[in-house]
Chain A
Amino acid sequence: QKEVEQDPGPLSVPEGAIVSLNCTYSNSAFQYFMWYRQYSRKGPELLMYTYSSGNKEDGRFTAQVDKSSKYISLFIRDSQPSDSATYLCAMSPSGGYQKVTFGTGTKLQVIP
């Protein structure tokens, strides 16, 4: 079993839809949770960063962490064609220089 599981997609939605992206994990030591967006042939770009459980909102993006279920989500409201990319979840244990574990990424396509 992988430490982090993420549905690879692809996920196709119409413009303006609400998108839900999810990851599950098995390592209860994970405390830091991140979402990255990666356009084709580019490096990942940090979108959201959350420590421990709870919600965090930034513009059209909302990140949720449920540590009891070992489940994290990224919601995108009013999705735009420019949101079309691969979204990677990532997580690491608390503090220090701990290794970050990435999901395989979900490819999202927003259709105009």
Chain B
Amino acid sequence: GAVVSQHPSWVICKSGTSVKIECRSLDFQATTMFWYRQFPKQSLMLMATSNEGSKATYEQGVEKDKFLINHASLTLSTLTVTSAHPEDSSFYICSARGGVGSTDTQYFGPGTRLTVL
């Protein structure tokens, strides 16, 4: 149990375009989802926390108008990178809180590699 999927797994786009990444909890309901960014050889950096039905909470330094997050249901959250630029190229990973038992932990998706040309 506790499977989280992401789509797409890899996307290449031109500078200035927008890219949408989906995160789904497949076998549990996730009232809270998290979006992380990971640069090569670095740890996960939390971008924002998303609660179902409410606005996302962004970490300091993350532009909310550039990284649009929508958490419309208990199993789906989306991250849209608007007007992407090469410096936005990174590995984006979502996670969902919940799952089996009562453990207060996060289950991660497989990640989406974004390359902006």
Contact = CB atoms under 8 A, between A and B. Distances in A.
Interface of A: 8, 32, 34, 36, 41-46, 49, 88, 92, 95-100, 102-105
Given A43-B110, A105-B43, 14 more contacts: A41-B91, A42-B110, A43-B4, A43-B6, A43-B109, A43-B111, A44-B93, A46-B105, A46-B108, A88-B43, A97-B51, A99-B49, A104-B42, A104-B43
| Interface residues of chain A: helix, strand, loop or mixed (majority) | loop
Interface of B: 4, 6, 32, 34, 41-44, 46, 49, 51, 91, 93, 95, 97, 103-111, 113
A41 B110 CA distance: 8
Contact of B108 (A41, A45, A104, A105): A45
Nearest to B41: A8
